[in-house]
Amino acid sequence: MNNQPTPTLEQRIASALNAAAITSSDLDTLIAESEAADLAAAKAREAALDPAVVADTAKMGAAVATATLSRDRLQAALPRLQQQLEQAREREYTAAWREDFKRAEAKRGRRSMPKPIRKWWSGSLIFSIVSRPAIAKFRTSTVAHHPALALTCARSS
């Protein structure tokens, strides 16, 4: 059996904010739990202010203060959690995109195009496009800033 106590929401949020890589689903769960804790703090305050309930005011006051402090801490952590959620989604999207790209590249293969066409496509076509008079002005200003174009134009001349 596991004798370790279950970490509190605040402890899980602190570890999530310090974690280098956390999944977006874990962050979604923490954000939802933070929002639920906010509602629980509001309900605790309402219950403490209900005059129909006879209760120890010292205990109720301490419970309300604890719930309010907890709510304020969670609200302070919420923007950081949302920022980390956005970054996690970007990381996951990028990783999925790279996997898709690798599969597509493997499926296509590097030698799917015959060598003469590949050579013409990469060199002559680019040179014929950049050497057109209509884009001569563009070429003179752009080729110097793009080493690949400069190399292609120099090779084809």
For the cut 60, the answer to whether the pLDDT of residue 130 exceeds it is: no
pLDDT value, residue 133? 56
pLDDT value, residue 2? 61
For the cut 60, the answer to whether the pLDDT of residue 116 exceeds it is: yes
Nearest to 104 by CA among 92, 112, 115, 93: 112
Q: Are 36 and 44 in contact (CB under 8 A)?
A: no
**CA angle at 119 for the pair 117 and 125, rounded to the nearest 5°:** 85
Q: What DSSP assignment string belongs to 16-77?
A: HHH-SS--HHHHHHHHHHHHHHHHHHHHHHHHHH-TTS---HHHHHHHHHHHHHHHHHHHHH
Confidence band, pLDDT 50/70/90 cuts, at residue 39: confident
Q: CA separation (Å) from 66 to 41, 45, 61?
A: 9, 10, 9
**In terms of C-beta density within 10 A (0-12 exposed, 13-18 middle, 19 or more buried), how is residue 113 classed?**
middle
Give the lowest-confidence range in 1-10, 65-74, 76-85, 89-98: 1-10
Return mean pLDDT, the chain: 75
Q: Are 115 and 109 in contact (CB under 8 A)?
A: no
Most confident of 25-34, 118-127, 141-150: 25-34
Residue 126 in tokens? 């680019």
